[in-house]
Amino acid sequence: MVNEWKANNVVSYFAQFLSTFRIVYWLQKLSWEVYIIIFYIVVFLVFVIIIDFLYVAISYRHKKLSFTQPIQILKVAFLLIVTVLFIPITGMKKQLRF
């Protein structure tokens, strides 16, 4: 189709522009130290979400939930996990097929 269109320059510029939106493009530019920092930030956020989940569960069980911010944080975390963070997992699943 590209040969029929005879616009190789336009297609290459367009492909280069779209490649800036891929996460692999940006991960290749990071140093090892920055990658480790991002990794530990994500691990810390996972632990915060787990602790928040446990707090909400225990408070709800004892009926002592006095404010709703922990529930709202869990709602936002759940929406992110189900939508944005689910996409890389499905991409890895496709790559791991034999």
pLDDT digit string, tens, across residues 31-87: 888 878 878 888 888 898 889 889 888 888 888 877 778 888 888 888 887 776 666
**Shared domain check, 41 and 23:** no
Residue 95's pLDDT band, with cuts at 50, 70 and 90, is low
- 3 has pLDDT over 50: yes
64: containing domain? 31-98
Task: Identify whether the C-beta of residue 39 lies closer than 8 Å to the C-beta of residue 27.
Answer: no
Q: For residue 49, which amino acid is it? A: I
**Shared domain check, 58 and 19:** no
State the pLDDT at residue 89.
Answer: 52
- 96 has pLDDT over 50: no
Backbone angles phi, psi at 51, to 5 degrees: -65, -40
**Shared domain check, 69 and 36:** yes
Does pTM surpass 0.75?
A: no
Number of domains comprising the chain:
2
Residue with tokens 């787990």: 50
**Shared domain check, 72 and 40:** yes
